[in-house]
Amino acid sequence: SHIISEYVRMTDTERDQIDQDAQVFMRTCADAIHQLRTEAHKGVQSAQVKEHRTAVLDFIEDYLKRVCKLYSEQRAIRVKRVIDKKRL
């Protein structure tokens, strides 16, 4: 109970701001990956280097997609709680 008493709850405004910032950040990351993908093969002669860069970018893009999915799941839980709270 000592830990709970010191716990400060976030306001809905703070949560909304975090949501907005997270969405902007994820969009920025997706744009950066896309830009890297278009520039990754410029001037590269080696097929092995091209394949490596493609694999690295695929890995990064997949990781971002998993992060976005986790974020969406967490946000859905928050929205569900808000809806449930309004019903009560």
pLDDT score of 84 more than 80: yes
Report pLDDT digits (tens) over 43-82.
Answer: 878 999 999 999 999 999 999 999 999 999 999 998 898 8
pLDDT of residue 11: 83
| Closest-CA residue to 41 (of 29, 55, 59, 26) | 55
Report pLDDT digits (tens) over 24-50.
Answer: 999 999 999 999 999 988 887 899 999
DSSP 42: T
pTM of this prediction? 0.76
pLDDT of residue 85: 86
pLDDT of residue 4: 57
DSSP 3-state of 22:
helix
How buried is 24 (Cβ within 10 angstroms: 0-12 exposed, 13-18 middle, 19+ buried)? exposed
